[in-house]
Amino acid sequence: MWSGASYVHRTERQEGSWTLPEGLGQAIRGTAEEIAALVRSAGDTALAVPGSKWTVGEVAAHLAMANELMADLAAGRERSYGDGTPQSLADANAESLAVFAERRAEPLATMITEQVEAFLDALSRSAADGQAPTTPLGVMSRSVLASYLLTHMLGHGYDLARALKSPHMVDPARVSLCMPFMLSVMPRVAAPEATAGLEARYRIKLRGGETFGVSLADGALRVTPGSAPQDVDCTILLDPVAFLLIALGRLNPWRAIARGQVLAWGRRPWLAPRFPTLFTAP
């Protein structure tokens, strides 16, 4: 959806007939390194994370384990982790943190970056962008899996940066690389109670980048990457960083509106505030 690397045409790495989207490997590695630096800078990993029940040490431990999970999936190893619903993922997170007791900064920082390297190495051995094993949010291609890993790290990296009062690493170029995952998962995380009975056609535009459409009818939600349905009801223009943070439950939509990061128009502009409520962040 915007400036930064295009995930459609250009490629960073090629193994056989499969290509890793340009800039994605670098973004994954760079994000992991920035997160590791944040974790190492923490004087006390028991520090609470704003807006979360977790501490800095627990977020770091979760990232270390999640990166290991993603590396296993990229390597073709079957792993189970909830059924994709928010409650099942929360339960799986709690269970894994109860078993994995490490909370020291240095071991966790090292594991975060090492498992990212294991993930990228596994992807580099892939001969084609075939189906990866089932992830916590369904079956997806390896390129979407890589986008998923980046998105997950950015969300928790943002949390760590807030807790440690440091600049966060979410920027438009990285958000653009998250979009293959975001667009693929939106129908899966649609909230049935919010979409029931709603008929609407949205055009979503990210400043400096891509446009996509979201259509709702008969309780079903359909996403059209790169285009929008005809005769849309509401167009929403968003700052890309605000879009991702809202989607991940890190930014209140009304705060983004007050900051001028969200604009809306069309024949039914009142549908704009409803749009974030159509989804449940996993």
3-state SS, residue 137: coil
Tokens 């296993």 belong to which residue?
Answer: 72
Q: Within 10 A of 64 (CB to CB), how many other CB atoms are there?
A: 24
Give the pLDDT confidence score for residue 212 in this predicted structure. Answer: 96
Write out pLDDT tens, residues 125-153: 876 666 667 888 888 999 999 999 999 99
Percent of the chain residues past pLDDT 90, beyond the cut: 74
2 located within any domain: no
Same domain, 34 and 138: yes
State residue 16's pLDDT score: 44
Question: What is the per-residue pLDDT for 20?
Answer: 82
- Given this model, what pLDDT does residue 181 score? 96
User: Looking at the structure, do residues 179 and 230 belong to the same domain, yes or no?
Assistant: no
What is the torsion angle, in degrees rounded to the nearest 10, for the CA atoms of residue 14, residue 139, residue 203 and residue 280? -130
pLDDT over threshold 50, residue 206: yes
Statement to judge: residues 138 and 265 lie in one domain = no
Domain that holds residue 138: 11-185
Mean pLDDT of the chain: 89
CA atoms within 13 A on the CB side of 103: 16
Lowest mean pLDDT among 78-92, 97-111, 124-138, 265-279: 124-138
pLDDT tens per residue, range 211-252: 999 999 988 999 999 877 778 999 999 999 999 999 999 999
Closest by CA to 2, choosing from 149, 150, 180, 205, is 205
Q: In angstroms, rounded to a whole number, what is the distance separating the alpha carbons of residues 108 and 114?
A: 10
The C-alpha torsion from 240 through 245 and 247 to 251, rounded to 10°, is -120
Predicted pLDDT at 184: 94
CATH number at residue 219: 3.30.1050.10
- Supply the angle between the helices 105-124 and 142-163 in degrees, to the nearest 10: 160
List helix spans (H) across the chain: 24-41, 56-74, 86-99, 105-124, 142-163, 172-185, 192-195, 240-247, 253-258
Per the domain annotation, does 177 fall within a domain? yes
**Residue 128 located in a structural domain:** yes
Three-state SS letters, 18-56: EEEECCHHHHHHHHHHHHHHHHHHCCCCCCECCCCCCEH
pLDDT at 81 over 60: yes
Which of these ranges, 76-80, 127-131, 175-179, 262-266, has the smallest mean pLDDT?
127-131
Which pLDDT score is estimated for 46?
97
Question: What tokens appear for 225 in the block?
Answer: 């990457």
* CA distances (Å), origin 38, targets 4, 16, 89: 24, 36, 25
Measured at the CA of 250, the angle between CA 189 and CA 174, to 5 degrees, comes to 85
Q: Are residues 236 and 131 in the same domain?
A: no
Domain C-terminal end among 129, 163, 185: 185
Q: Are 213 and 235 in contact (CB under 8 A)?
A: no
Tell whether the model's pLDDT for residue 5 goes beyond 60. Answer: no
Let me know if residue 3 belongs to a domain. no
Residue 79 inside a domain? The answer is yes
Phi–psi pair at 244, nearest 5 degrees: -65, -40
The structure tokens listed for 199 are: 């008929």
Confidence (pTM): 0.91
Same domain, 203 and 274: yes
What's the pLDDT tens digit per position in 46-65?
999 999 999 999 999 999 99
* Buried b / exposed e along 261-272 (16+ C-beta atoms within 10 A): bbebebeeeebb
| Same domain assignment for residues 180 and 201 | no
Token pair recorded at residue 74: 């990229």
Could you tell me which of 249, 279, 275, 281 has the C-alpha nearest to residue 262?
275
CB atoms inside a 10 Å sphere around CB 196: 10
15 pLDDT tier (thresholds 50, 70, 90): very low
Confidence at residue 1, expressed as pLDDT on a 0 to 100 scale = 28
Region of poorest pLDDT, from 13-22, 140-149, 156-165: 13-22
pLDDT for position 77:
87
What is the number of domains present in the chain? 2
Question: What is the domain-level CATH number for residue 42?
Answer: 1.20.120.450
Q: Could you tell me if residue 245 is inside a domain?
A: yes
